[in-house]
Amino acid sequence: MGDAVLVVNQAAQPLLTNAAYIDLFGHADAVLVAHNQEGHPLASEAQPPQRAVRGETFTLEFTLPTEASEQRYLEAPGQPILDEERQQTGGVLVIRDITERSRQGLSLGW
């Protein structure tokens, strides 16, 4: 899978990631911190993992600063994870790099 996957527990802590997540964030237990288009971190409650564990199903476009003082544009659909009794046990995010699409002005409806 080319997209990064992040599975979090009820406390929004990483439980499971894939190789694409490690490539994007540097290591499996890296904490995702989404930024707005001006490069400022989103409020804690607006971060994708927190939204997923609150039971929201959503798609969020956000930026991620890089070491080269550039911004990567990402899109993350997220949703809660429910057990067989329909009790929420965490959340899952699939994170796609949309930097090229965003640079062409095709996305980020901010």
Q: Assess if residue 59 is contained within a domain.
A: yes
Q: Assess if residue 29 is contained within a domain.
A: yes
Q: Which residues of the chain register pLDDT less than 50?
A: 110
Tell me the CB-side half-sphere exposure of residue 106, using CA atoms within 13 A: 7
Instruction: Give the CA angle between residues 28, 6, 48 to the nearest 5°.
Output: 120
Nearest-angstrom CA–CA distance, 55 and 66: 30
Q: Assess if residue 19 is contained within a domain.
A: yes
Check which CATH number belongs to the domain holding 10 and give it: 3.30.450.20
Question: What's the domain range around 13?
Answer: 4-103
Nearest-angstrom CA–CA distance, 79 and 73: 20
pLDDT at site 30:
87
pLDDT at site 102:
66
In one-letter notation, the amino acid at residue 90 is G
Count up the domains in the chain and report the number: 1
Q: Assess if residue 110 is contained within a domain.
A: no
Q: Assess if residue 108 is contained within a domain.
A: no
Q: Assess if residue 99 is contained within a domain.
A: yes
Q: Assess if residue 55 is contained within a domain.
A: yes
